[in-house]
Structure 1
Amino acid sequence: MPLVIRDLGLRPYEPVWEAMKAFTAGRDRSVPDELWSVQHPPVYTQGQAGKAEHILAPGNIPVVQADRGGQVTYHGPGQLVVYLMVDLPRAGLGVRQLVNIIEQSLVSVLATEGIEAAPRPDAPGVYVDGAKIASLGLRVRRGCSFHGLALNVDMDMEPFTRINPCGFSGMSMCQVRDFSPSANLDALAMRLTDTLAVALGHDTQAVQREPDLPGVGHNPAS
């Protein structure tokens, strides 16, 4: 079964979320898995476990109540988001195994930038010297995952100070640029989706790379 990887560019959060839900609801065992790499305009998303008190001062940044796991996080330009639509039974994976694949793929890709990162057993995500560089949040419906990961690359980090990221008061956040100023988001997206593809059992030579997803909003930068 092939894997489809889509690069959506900069897209509003809610249309992409709705497209993930529609894709998952409409798929069957004959539909290939997909990875979508995307950036979002500024938005806070609150997961199913989210508590209102963790949103301290959102200001003019919208807050969206999402159906993923976890609590509140921030998305903005310069952050690499990868959504994973994976048929878990077909891939022979459980949710914990998928989380491990995501975390280890991030650790591997960050190592190529000279960044020593690691997951934490008490809090999903990937960390550098105690500061969070990547967040995870998944939802599984009918055995199929959606939502995914967010890697801070080269973004305005100030909005993280207006929340308790992932429900942790005072959590330090960091980004790739702090350690590797020349890092390129597009190159990281290619490297990370390739790494995820291999970890999910795919041959990168057989991956179908698609530039777009029809009908999912418009690129705000265009």
Structure 2
Amino acid sequence: MQVVDALPLVVRRLGLVEYEPTWAAMRAFTDARTDETADELWLLEHPPVFTLGQAGKPEHLLRETGIPLVKIDRGGQITYHGPGQIVVYLLIDLHRRRLKVREMVTLMEQALIDCLADYGLAAARKDGAPGVYIGGDKIAALGLRVRNGCSYHGLALNVDADLAPFSAINPCGYEGLKTIRMKDFGVTDGVAEVGEHLLAHLERLLAPRPAIDRP
């Protein structure tokens, strides 16, 4: 069994940034990358915005709120981003890390589950509904786009975000789905502190895996 060389992983902590310029930057990064381009994780927050996936149905926005709606190129339906919610964008060469798309989704979910476990919260996956849940209520969402074997977009974890905007949508297309946050369980750490826990788990799970020598 051969161990692959260490793969560089750049972490960028961007703070509070507008959605559309960040989305454009992800696409530009992915279009310009080469075999030598390091993978990157972008940790950030967005001002209030609804995003609707490429196959998303506009009727999942239940009422007008004044929050902008942006139609984007990830999978999935509608979700909300806002201050107090951790967003991590994963700009990853899946082939180089020997990951298939489904494995990448599972990795993202596991990082969230492990991060929440750091705070004594027992989170889990739900069959047929990507994301992470506590007691059936959604605490984290995810959505990816893969182009030429490289991913962008990523995941969002509710830390102490205002949950009111979620009442104006069917989160991720599920009518009546309750959305929760870490603050509801007595977690006092903010986005910066929780973000470092989440980054550590993502970096651990994205570490190079052994390559199997085949005859």
Aligned equivalent of 2:64, options 44, 49, 58: 58
- 1:56–1:163: 8 Å Cα contact kept in structure 2? yes
Deviation at 1:160, TM superposition (A): 0.2
- 1:79–1:154: 8 Å Cα contact kept in structure 2? yes
Aligned to 1:196: 202
Q: Structure 1: how far apart are the matches of 2:107 and 2:186?
A: 23
Q: Give SS of 1:195's match.
A: helix
Aligned to 1:2: 8
Aligned-pair identity (%): 53
Aligned equivalent of 1:114, options 120, 144, 148: 120
Aligned to 2:143: 137
The list of structure 1 runs, each at least 4 consecutive aligned residues, that deviate by more than 6 angstroms after superposition, is none
- 1:58–1:163: 8 Å Cα contact kept in structure 2? no
The letter of the residue matching 1:65 is K
Aligned to 2:19: 13
Deviations 1:9-37 (A, max 9, x none): 00000000000000000001100000001
Deviation at 1:48, TM superposition (A): 1.2
5+ unaligned residues in a row in structure 1: which ranges?
203-222
The letter of the residue matching 1:171 is L
Q: Structure 2: how far apart are the matches of 1:20 and 1:121?
A: 29
Q: Structure 1: how far apart are the matches of 2:30 and 2:171?
A: 27
Deviations 1:62-120 (A, max 9, x none): 00001001000000000000000000000000000000100011000100111110011
5+ unaligned residues in a row in structure 2: which ranges?
1-6, 209-215
Name which structure has the greater RCO, CA cutoff 8 Å, separation 6+: 1
How many residue pairs were aligned?
Answer: 202
Deviation at 1:121, TM superposition (A): 1.6
Point out the structure with max Rg over C-alpha: 2
The letter of the residue matching 2:38 is P
- 1:114–1:180: 8 Å Cα contact kept in structure 2? no
Q: Structure 2: how far apart are the matches of 1:38 and 1:184?
A: 13
Q: Give SS of 1:59's match.
A: coil
Q: Structure 2: how far apart are the matches of 1:23 and 1:148?
A: 15
- 1:113–1:183: 8 Å Cα contact kept in structure 2? no
Aligned equivalent of 1:68, options 47, 64, 74: 74
C-alpha RMSD of the superposition: 0.8
Aligned to 1:174: 180
Deviation at 1:198, TM superposition (A): 1.0
